[in-house]
Structure 1
Amino acid sequence: MKLLLQSAFALVLPLLASAASTSDDKKTKDPAPKPCTIRSPASGAFFDLSSLSLHPPKDTKDVKKGEVSESYHVKGQDYGANFTINFCAPVVEDLTNVEGVDRKLAQNVSAYYTIGKKSYSIGSVNSELVLRGSKLVLNYTNGSPCDSPSPKPKRQLAHGVQDLRSAKIIDDDDDDKSHKKKDVRRKNTIILLSCQKDPLGPKSPKATISFAGEMDCTYIFEAKSQAACAGIETTPQQLGPGGVFGVIMLIAILVYIVGGCVYQRTVQHQRGWRQLPNYSMWAGIWSFLADTFIILTSSCARFLPGRRGYSRVSLDGNSNIRGRHAEDENRLIDNLDEEWDD
């Protein structure tokens, strides 16, 4: 028995050590963040806005869950134009002719507005989030040129947003200062996201977006959503606690079977099925199950309707005929006996 326990521990301990090493490797290695997600370096809170991304349906007839035909629409109020926005993804609408943007790059537009028959991009797709205090910031750059006409003069920004222009806008273009005059200024978009734990209703949109204002070719929006609330990051694990427990149980069963067979064969000198450990117990369990099955099937067979018909009547008639033949035979024997006596 000690030999079996030692062999079991010898098989289980390397597995636990490998599981611990994999967990340590996961802690040491910091994987790259997923698109449209961010982790707060101060509090460790995790934010995931991927649920706000809208995707066009692959098949217009069969629209699956999460696929829509329109992006988020935002009223421009006194700006004179309404806006169309998507989060961390291009807009769902098919844009082919965007002012100041190549047709190939028009498929990457994440925010735009339309004046007449012309569409103006206010930023291309970006999936990197930034934390500014308690708010998430999503920045779109490389829109249409700033010399594009605006429907109305610049709108004054809402309260608490005017100081955003003092902050540096995230832009992938790091050009030299000497070439600033030659470069074309393009429209940008800043989306400020805040947490909204209680949705307005079951059919309410995933995010409530409002236009805050425009200043120096930068369009600022405020969005409230439940997705902007801090959560817990769920990292996919190769082997979870349930998997580790299952592997340990499998190893224990294998050790029990193999060790028991070796013991029964070498020490008890058993052969055939009797080599299995605790053969008498397992044989008793099997016979009990077999007897239970037979009892159940026989009890169920009693409820089946029996065959009744003319066969029963014919059998009864044959029995009467057989009785008459027996009486005749007895009389014949008695007569023969009397004649023999005479």
Structure 2
Amino acid sequence: MRFWPASPLYTLPFFILSLLQLTTADTSSNTPPQKPCTVTSAQSGNFFDLGQLTRTAASTSSPSSSESNTVHDWTARGHDYTANFTLNICAPVVSSVVDVESVPTSQKSNISAFYISQEGKQYSIGGVSTSPYFRGRKLVLEYVGGSPCPTPDDADDDEEREKEKTSKKKKKKESGYRKSTIMSHLCDRDAIRPVISFVGEVNECGYFFEVRSSAACPTVGTQALGPVSVFGIIGLVAALVYLVGGCMYQRTVMHARGWRQMPNYAVWASLVGGVWALIESIWNRCADRLHLPRSPYDRLSARRSSLESENRLIDSLDEDWGDDS
């Protein structure tokens, strides 16, 4: 029993897969760190850049504004809450927060959201964060480390609660927790500027906002490939394996030369010939009806057939003359 050696048709796919694995490993090790305020969805592979919403000293307000040279933070109305909110995205607020309550001096320059109470006191509701993330399909940005959360009133001690309300000089007790902010970013391609809505708060400690903007819409990133690109690469690799491997097999094993080295040459040749004959037939029919010149290929065939008939006539005449002599 004879065993053929391993054909390139079978070894080439393994070689290409190994090459792709090495390329992927190399690119993953050399991938630069992700830009701040950007994130790639692990589920869809879409790329998101919230850095467009960042307000800095170099940014300006809307050109239609009368104060076009003044830098503004983003604001959100509290509605039934006792204060409005000022915040920035992935950067500290531009507004002055010198008198913020119970935040160390070293951290005051990193406050990204705050509000001013009716008494005129500033309360931080979170420090800067440049790392948005996905919770399921929700794009979320979270700020933590704000001003201390107030201690809830003890319902069982009415006298102590009354003293805390009537004493103006007495400071509020601190619970050990600090105010924080969660912003849910939603895609709105029609939004010229972000629309930030205050959703609610929990025990004056956790604050929730909804941000609608075009920056929350997925864009094409270089860090991930979509499903269409992946299937396109797979199809390209399969086509290369079919052509290169088939040609090598036809040349080395079947000893084919020229166009016959193509895999399944007879099938492809008959298919191309059938398509060409169909196109030529349609063209000739249209040419006959519209009195257009026929295809060059048809004229060449007619000329060739006429030449062959002339050659046959000359040969027959030569034979007759030869017989007479």
State TM-score, norm by structure 2.
0.49
- Structure with larger Rg: 1
| TM-score calculated relative to the size of structure 1 | 0.46
